[in-house]
Amino acid sequence: MVSAELCYGSELWLELGCPYVWDELLKYLELWEKEIPEMPSINFDDDSVSTFEEIKCIDVSLFRKLFDNQEICKEILPILFPTNKVLRLLYEYFLQKSYEESIYKTLSDKILEIIE
């Protein structure tokens, strides 16, 4: 017959006769937690003006591919731009540029569909 026990926290180490190991594990976990770098923010709306300035010059064809992809528009863009600040800036920018080229009007219309 095989005997099995369910142990939580320090119980395992007490059962094995090494209670100090649990305290040592906790100590190293606390040190490790302090050394973990912060996760970078994927909310590009946090610094919307800077983000806008960086992405506004992306090739128009790339924007077209991006905004034509419904899956990206519905699943990815809301994560990257949760408050739509950058998308609104892009919308205004494309709307102004639409007087130069019609593709910008198409892009501004697509962004308007996303942010509404």
Statement to judge: residues 29 and 63 lie in one domain? no
Statement to judge: residues 58 and 110 lie in one domain? yes
> Can you give the residue range of the structural domain that contains 28?
1-36
Statement to judge: residues 57 and 110 lie in one domain? yes
Whether 42 is covered by a domain: the verdict is: no
Cα 103 from Cα 2, distance rounded (Å): 73
Q: Is the pLDDT of residue 36 over 80?
A: yes
* pTM confidence score: 0.67
Gyration radius (Cα) of the chain, Å = 26
Cα 46 from Cα 84, distance rounded (Å): 10
Statement to judge: residues 59 and 108 lie in one domain? yes
Q: What is the pLDDT of residue 69?
A: 94
Q: Is the pLDDT of residue 39 over 80?
A: no
Whether 43 is covered by a domain: the verdict is: no
Statement to judge: residues 67 and 101 lie in one domain? yes
Statement to judge: residues 53 and 32 lie in one domain? no
Q: Is the pLDDT of residue 89 over 80?
A: yes
Q: What is the pLDDT of residue 59?
A: 93
Structure tokens at 86: 């950058």
Cα 17 from Cα 31, distance rounded (Å): 25
Statement to judge: residues 32 and 84 lie in one domain? no
Q: What is the pLDDT of residue 42?
A: 87
Domains in the chain, number: 2
Statement to judge: residues 106 and 55 lie in one domain? yes
Section 63-84 average pLDDT: 94
Q: What is the pLDDT of residue 110?
A: 93
Section 77-106 average pLDDT: 93
Work out the mean pLDDT of the chain and round it to a whole number.
91
